């Protein structure tokens, strides 16, 4: 029988030593308001109260040999969520799918993480005795929220130009600020 791991207080070293896999889902239909408590920062991005529909995650951990050091903890995290946001094209609510897949390498302290994170392809984080994997799930989803959320196909017609009955689209003669100066210089030379 395999041990049960708590994603909010995960012993990553033990989890990785077992090549652990952890799947989770928090769903509005089954978990109700608990999803808003667990993922409060992500829920705040919703355009409607209690709009966060679901959060799903899969974590896979392993120990990898390191040259001249103890094996290092690595975690692959695959996360997704459905979040209602305002479409910036049609200005109506859109259910936006947010997802991310990343590898994380864990090191002993903050100083090491800071130095190695700049030169590594993977994200480098600090290994703590009880790691909050759910906070990392939320962080990854927040970083994946689109800056400009949009429907793939808007449900309403989208106006792409502005029309004003008093607007006349006539070319305007461009004023050249140094043209007058050039004429004055030419007349003074001649």
Give the start-to-end residue ranges of the domains of the chain: 12-144
Give 22 or 5, the one with higher predicted confidence: 22
Task: Give the helix ranges, DSSP H, for 101-178.
Answer: 110-117, 133-144
In tens, the pLDDT along 23-44 reads 999 998 888 899 999 999 999 9
Q: Answer yes or no: are the C-beta atoms of 106 and 125 closer than 8 Å.
A: yes
Q: Beta strands 93-107 and 123-126: pairing type?
A: parallel
Average pLDDT estimate for 109-134:
91
Token pair, residue 12, equals 């990553």
The pLDDT, as a whole number, for residue 1 is 36
Using a 10 angstrom Cβ sphere, with 0-12 exposed, 13-18 middle and 19 or more buried, the burial of residue 181 is: exposed
Exposed e or buried b per residue across 70-107, where buried means at least 16 C-beta atoms within 10 angstroms of its C-beta: eebbbbebbbbbbbbbebeebeebbebebebeeebbbb
Whether 187 and 123 have beta carbons less than 8 Å apart is answered as no
């Amino acid at each position: 029988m395999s041990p049960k791991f708590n994603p909010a207080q995960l012993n990553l070293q033990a989890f990785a030593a077992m090549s652990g896999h952890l799947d989770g889902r928090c769903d509005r239909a089954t978990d109700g308001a608990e999803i808003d408590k667990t993922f409060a920062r992500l829920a705040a991005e919703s355009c409607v109260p209690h709009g966060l529909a679901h959060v799903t995650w899969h974590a896979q951990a392993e120990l990898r040999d390191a040259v001249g050091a103890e094996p290092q903890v690595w975690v692959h995290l695959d996360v997704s969520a459905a979040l209602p946001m305002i479409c910036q094209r049609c200005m109506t609510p859109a259910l936006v799918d947010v997802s991310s897949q990343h590898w994380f390498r864990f090191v002993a302290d903050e100083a090491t993480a800071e130095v190695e994170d700049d030169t590594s392809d993977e994200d480098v984080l600090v290994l703590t005795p009880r790691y909050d994997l759910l906070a990392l799930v939320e962080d990854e989803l927040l970083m994946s929220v689109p800056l400009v959320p949009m429907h793939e196909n808007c449900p309403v017609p989208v106006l792409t130009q502005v029309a004003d009955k008093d607007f006349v689209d006539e070319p305007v003669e461009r004023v050249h600020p140094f043209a007058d100066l050039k004429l004055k210089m030419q007349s003074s030379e001649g």
